[in-house]
């Protein structure tokens, strides 16, 4: 590091225009982060035209601060309503949202703010340290290493929120199968689009993230008709300020965990295509694996929020390494920033390191300052944001769903993506009910194309000779161990610990406590019986859909060119086999240890029991309400197609409050007018979004 370049870069921050644009970018990022589905890439794209009229320092300050400013507010919506404001914040929902359900929303927001800021510090230090050697770091990783890293991340994260081996892996495979929709990068051939040209570019990450994490949860909340947190606003208001600072102190008291998660996030962020959303989930998985209370993750523990939040800005700082050194964007946001650099006359590569080194240090400084600025803004409003958790789910659901629809349209301008959004929302609800892994699904989607592309390159460049290299060998060993760790552990336990009789039963958690560890009830011993009657015919139906759907997918893939069909055939074959195992387990007792998982009760009892892990059951009334909510959402899309978005939304709100929620006419009119105003001001006027007008 040259001291002169560092001094020159920091001196650029003394300009009032640079400071003003940095604050503007941070505020814009924080604002956009509160709108589920809009995402940072949309904001950065909208800022590109302004860069033509700005000097280099001012343009860098604006675009980088907007990029960094989105993450705290994106995490705020993930914590409060289980709807990540940016796909990168999806991992925060795993423990952040359960904390909100336990009336600890303000504490979670405090944790998020402080962890994000400190993680940014670690990331910036890493960025500055690696600037001289960043080209060498990237060239160490070959296509085989990228392929195995992607496979390892999918399998590792498949174990999150799923005590079932098959359900976790099936979730990841489903995400990969969705990722293969669209053109094949090797041949340009459109796959799995069934003649729909609008699917040529594939399924949008916005539709997948919002469908899985936001829409599925909103359908569920409407079904239960309860608030996220079962406490009144007065009770929350009495202690909310203290909770915010308690969250800050939780982070300060765990410096090792913050540092560890930041390092993991930074390393993942260095890998183009593997970082981004994956970094947060990998940090979360690492924190869970090293924690003394692994079983509590997913129920609302501070460590589960600290880990992904500490990696937020750390991985974004790391993504600038391949971007600056090789011009390779590692995330969607950095791809837009690459365009911004081109507009500003900065050519990423060796020349940028040698000729514009002060600008690199300016980028690092802006990232650092924006992290604290956005987190400070978040802390100042956390007291008021936390009150969202006291709103009844039925009142919140239509607003989140409509914002998700509009945000997805703004990001894609593609009507079929809205259909996919709702369809994936239904899938997310089913996954939630049956104990599948939502994190594995989205990671499979994100890394599916990375796995396929690098597998193809490996076949073309080196073939199986990559196994002679030490790094791919080590990564392959990690993949194998991650797949077979559960059966290997059980085999070792059987060798050294005397076995216990197996009891098979369905574990149903309370509707609002779906992630809590619940003591299994005494069930009927099945040691003498090989076959059994299914616990749930709905689950049998879903398992049958897995089998039939993967078979249809395989048949479709076999008709493509060899290069374009290899990986889809492998993935769909694995999904078919695991789906068959999952289906047969509903009738065969012995298979349920693999397909439904086992876990101890809270008091250490239930050893050797096989339970249906993380299954969320409800009453018949709840299921009917969920169906009504899905039907209303589908009718909203029909209305948008017929009469346009601006007319369909207020009419849809009126129908919702009059028919579904049976509220007062005053609430219906005010809500419809407010929703229309929000969409008009934010999307039409400020963001210049061209909303669909309908065919009538």
CA gap 517, 452 in Å, rounded = 37
Q: What is the pLDDT of residues 190-233, one digit of tens each?
A: 888 887 878 888 888 778 878 887 788 888 888 887 765 544 44
Predicted confidence (pLDDT) at residue 69 exceeds the cutoff of 90: no
Contact between 371 and 313 under an 8 Å Cβ cutoff? The reply is yes
Query: Taking 50 as the threshold, does the pLDDT of residue 604 lie above it?
Result: no
Mean pLDDT, to the nearest integer, of 392-411?
Answer: 82
State residue 2's pLDDT score: 62
Phi, psi (deg, nearest 5) at residue 22: -65, -45
Measured distance CA(594)–CA(218) in Å, rounded: 30
pLDDT of 423 above 90 = yes
Residue 109 has pLDDT above 70, yes or no: yes
How much is the pLDDT for 500?
46
* pLDDT class of 13 with cuts at 50, 70, 90: confident
Q: Which ranges of 102-232 does DSSP label H, i.e. alpha helix?
A: 105-130, 134-140, 143-157, 165-179, 205-209, 216-224
Taking the C-alpha atoms of residue 505 and residue 359, their distance in angstroms, rounded to an integer, is 61
Residue with the bigger pLDDT between 472 and 234: it is 472
pLDDT of residue 383: 62
CB atoms within 10 A of CB 88: 32
Q: What is the DSSP letter of 505?
A: E
Please state the rounded mean pLDDT for residues 675-683.
81
Contact of 93 with 285, CB cutoff 8 Å: no
Q: What is the mean pLDDT of residues 583-601?
A: 69
Read off φ and ψ for residue 392, nearest 5 degrees: -60, 140
Q: At what angle do helices 165-179 and 537-557 cross, to 10 degrees?
A: 40
**Residue 144, CA distances (Å) to 457, 468, 471, 547, 611 in order:** 8, 11, 9, 30, 38
Residue closest to 559 by CA, chosen among 575, 572, 545: 572
Using alpha carbons, list the distances in angstroms from residue 82 to 56, 99, 111, 216, 468: 38, 11, 16, 10, 45
Interior CA angle at 542 toward 537 and 547, to 5°? 120
Query: 630-641, pLDDT tens digit by residue?
Result: 999 999 999 999
Name residue, tokens 């250490």: 604
Residue 505's pLDDT is 38
Q: How far apart are CA 19 and CA 369, in angstroms?
A: 10
Bigger pLDDT: 339 vs 553: 553
615 exposed, middle or buried (CB, 10 Å; 0-12, 13-18, 19+)? Answer: buried
Contact yes or no for 233/106 (Cβ under 8 A): no
Q: Among the ranges 59-68, 138-147, 438-447, 495-504, which has the highest mean pLDDT value? A: 59-68
Question: What pLDDT score was predicted for residue 232?
Answer: 40
Extract the tokens encoding 56.
């280099």
Whether the CB-CB separation of 599 and 613 falls below 8 Å is answered with yes
Residue 549 has pLDDT above 80, yes or no: yes
The tens digit of pLDDT for each residue in 350-382 reads: 667 677 778 888 888 888 888 888 777 767 765
> Residue 620: pLDDT above 80?
yes
Average pLDDT of the chain is 77
């Amino acid at each position: 590091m040259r001291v002169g370049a560092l001094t020159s870069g920091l001196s650029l921050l003394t300009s009032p225009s640079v400071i003003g644009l940095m604050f503007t970018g941070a505020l814009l990022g924080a604002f956009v982060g509160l709108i589920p589905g809009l995402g940072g890439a949309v904001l950065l794209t909208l800022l590109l035209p302004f860069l033509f009229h700005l000097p280099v320092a001012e343009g860098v300050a604006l675009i980088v601060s907007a990029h960094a400013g989105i993450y705290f507010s994106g995490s705020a919506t993930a914590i409060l309503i289980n709807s990540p404001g940016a796909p990168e914040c999806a991992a925060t929902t795993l423990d952040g949202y359960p904390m909100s359900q336990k009336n600890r929303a303000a504490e979670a927001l405090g944790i998020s703010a402080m962890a994000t800021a400190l993680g940014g510090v670690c990331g910036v230090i890493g960025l500055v340290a690696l600037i001289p050697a960043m080209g060498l770091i990237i060239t160490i990783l070959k296509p085989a290493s990228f392929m195995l890293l992607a496979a390892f991340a999918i399998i590792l994260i498949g174990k999150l929120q799923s005590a079932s081996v098959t359900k976790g892996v099936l979730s990841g495979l489903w995400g990969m199968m969705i990722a293969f929709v669209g053109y094949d990068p090797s041949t340009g051939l459109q796959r799995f689009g069934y003649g729909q040209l609008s699917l040529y570019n594939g399924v949008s990450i916005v539709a997948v993230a919002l469908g899985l994490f936001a829409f599925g949860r909103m359908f569920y909340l409407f079904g239960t008709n309860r608030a996220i947190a079962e406490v009144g606003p007065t009770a929350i208001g009495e202690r909310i300020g203290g909770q915010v600072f308690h969250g800050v102190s939780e982070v300060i008291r765990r410096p090792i965990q913050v540092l560890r998660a930041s390092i993991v996030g930074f390393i993942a962020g260095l890998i183009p295509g593997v970082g981004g959303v994956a970094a947060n989930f990998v940090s979360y998985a690492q924190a869970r694996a090293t924690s003394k209370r692994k079983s509590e993750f997913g129920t609302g523990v501070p460590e589960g929020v600290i880990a992904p939040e500490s990696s937020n800005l750390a991985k974004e700082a790391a993504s600038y390494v391949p971007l600056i050194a090789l011009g390779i964007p590692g995330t969607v946001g950095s791809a837009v920033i690459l365009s911004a650099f081109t507009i500003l006359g900065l050519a990423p590569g060796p020349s940028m390191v040698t000729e514009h080194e002060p600008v690199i240090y300016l980028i690092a400084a802006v990232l650092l300052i924006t992290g604290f600025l956005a987190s400070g803004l978040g802390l100042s409003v956390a007291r008021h944001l936390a009150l969202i958790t006291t709103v009844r789910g039925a009142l919140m659901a239509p607003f989140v769903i409509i914002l998700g629809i509009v945000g997805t349209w703004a990001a894609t301008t593609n009507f079929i993506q809205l259909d996919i959004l709702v369809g994936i929302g239904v899938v997310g609800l089913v996954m939630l009910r049956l104990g599948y892994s939502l994190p594995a699904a989205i990671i499979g989607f994100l890394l599916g194309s990375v796995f396929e592309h690098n597998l193809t390159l490996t076949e073309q460049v080196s073939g199986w000779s990559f196994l002679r290299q030490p790094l791919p060998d080590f990564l392959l060993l990690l993949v194998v161990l991650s797949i077979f760790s559960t059966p290997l552990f059980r085999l070792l336990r059987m060798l050294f610990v005397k076995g216990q009789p197996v009891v098979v039963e369905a574990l149903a958690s309370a509707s609002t406590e779906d992630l809590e560890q619940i003591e299994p009830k005494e069930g009927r011993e099945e040691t003498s019986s090989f076959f059994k009657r299914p616990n749930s015919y709905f689950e049998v139906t879903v398992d049958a859909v897995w089998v039939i759907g993967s078979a249809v997918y395989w048949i479709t893939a076999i008709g493509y060119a060899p290069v374009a069909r290899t990986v889809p055939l492998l993935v769909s074959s694995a999904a078919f086999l695991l789906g068959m195992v999952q289906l047969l387990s509903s009738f065969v007792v012995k298979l349920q240890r693999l397909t439904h998982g086992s876990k101890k009760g809270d008091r250490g009892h239930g050893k050797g029991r096989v339970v249906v892990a993380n299954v969320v059951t409800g009453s018949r009334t709840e299921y009917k309400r969920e169906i009504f909510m899905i039907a209303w959402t589908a009718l909203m899309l029909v209305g948008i197609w017929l009469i346009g978005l601006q007319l369909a939304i207020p009419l849809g709100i009126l129908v919702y409050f009059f028919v579904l929620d049976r509220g007062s006419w005053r609430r219906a009119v005010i809500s419809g007018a407010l929703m229309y105003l929000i969409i008009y001001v934010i999307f039409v006027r400020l963001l210049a979004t061209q909303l669909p007008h309908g065919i009538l």
